Amino acid sequence: MFLVLMMILGWTTCSINFSSAFLQADLPTPIWVHLPRGFKSSRGGKTCLHLKRSQYGLTVAPRLWHQHLIAALTEMGLQQSALDPCLLYKKDLLVIVYVDDVGVAAPEDALLDKFVEDLKTKGFELTREGSFSEFLGIKFEEDKAAGTITMMQKGLIKKVIASTGLEQCNPNRQPAAAAALGIDPEGEAYTESWNYPSIVGMLLYLSTNTRPDIAFAVSQVARFNHNPKQTHARALKMIIRYLSGTADKGMIIKPNGTLGLDDWADCDFCGLF
């Protein structure tokens, strides 16, 4: 939604990264901790420390940081979307938040400068980075002539290929075989050196963000995380070989220039039609 609105409205963008984000939130209740190992206090061995700010490792730290940031943005006049609380907006500003990574869009660069300065005035330690061209490992390549943005995860695909040792593999033209993948109880035991659930997890992140073309294939191999057989490893390799030949592909966003919502469904209503 952020990318589509940015394109339709023709707004300029920037990225913001908060330094040591969790330490910037105040603690609503007192928390005491032991001295770190190796430190000594002149007051004796039973000395404790009173935390004044949130700290990494505290179970409440992520929630406190989120509340701290959202409260500041709300004071600055932004409103949370009813559909996604991590999308905030007002008349001349769009903000998207994921923990300490923030994307901002506005009609002109001066508004972005003011937004950053207002955050600094409120005591936030942050770094303003370039345009919103990458977010959570997803890169956005804009083609203004075609009116499109392509979302890609080349880095993650490269990591998957390297983790399985398939750098020199022959690319495959399809991510899965025609036959469904079964449990194969009597099949050959899993013998690969790489961690099966770890590879599946990376593929799931790919399929739900930029590569829906592998979604069905990944859903099949994900069913056997607990006890994979060699047949499942071969199915996983088939997906990776397909990604090897299509690493430069991704999801293409091409708004039609209006703020309406178009929806398509691939469904036969349980075979009734």
Cβ-based burial of 251 (10 A; exposed 0-12, middle 13-18, buried ≥19): middle
Asked if residue 256 is part of any domain, the answer here is: no
At residue 249, the pLDDT reads 95
Asked if residue 171 is part of any domain, the answer here is: yes
CB atoms near residue 130 (< 10 Å)? 9
Q: What is the CATH number of the domain that holds 27?
A: 3.30.70
Most confident of the ranges 76-80, 132-136, 267-271: 76-80
Question: pLDDT confidence of 242, banded at 50, 70, 90?
Answer: very high
Number of domains in the chain: 2
Name the maximum alpha-carbon separation found in the chain. 80
Asked if residue 168 is part of any domain, the answer here is: yes
At residue 198, the pLDDT reads 97
Same domain, 220 and 190: yes
Asked if residue 142 is part of any domain, the answer here is: no
- Domain span including residue 206: 152-245
Question: pLDDT confidence of 116, banded at 50, 70, 90?
Answer: very high
Give pLDDT tens digits for 42-76.
887 788 889 989 999 999 999 999 999 999 999 99
Give pLDDT tens digits for 117-135.
999 999 999 999 989 999 9
Question: pLDDT confidence of 259, banded at 50, 70, 90?
Answer: confident
Same domain, 86 and 205: no
- Phi-psi category of 166—alpha, beta or left, where left has phi over 0 and alpha has psi -120 to 50? alpha
Nearest Cα to 211, choosing from 169, 263, 250? Answer: 250
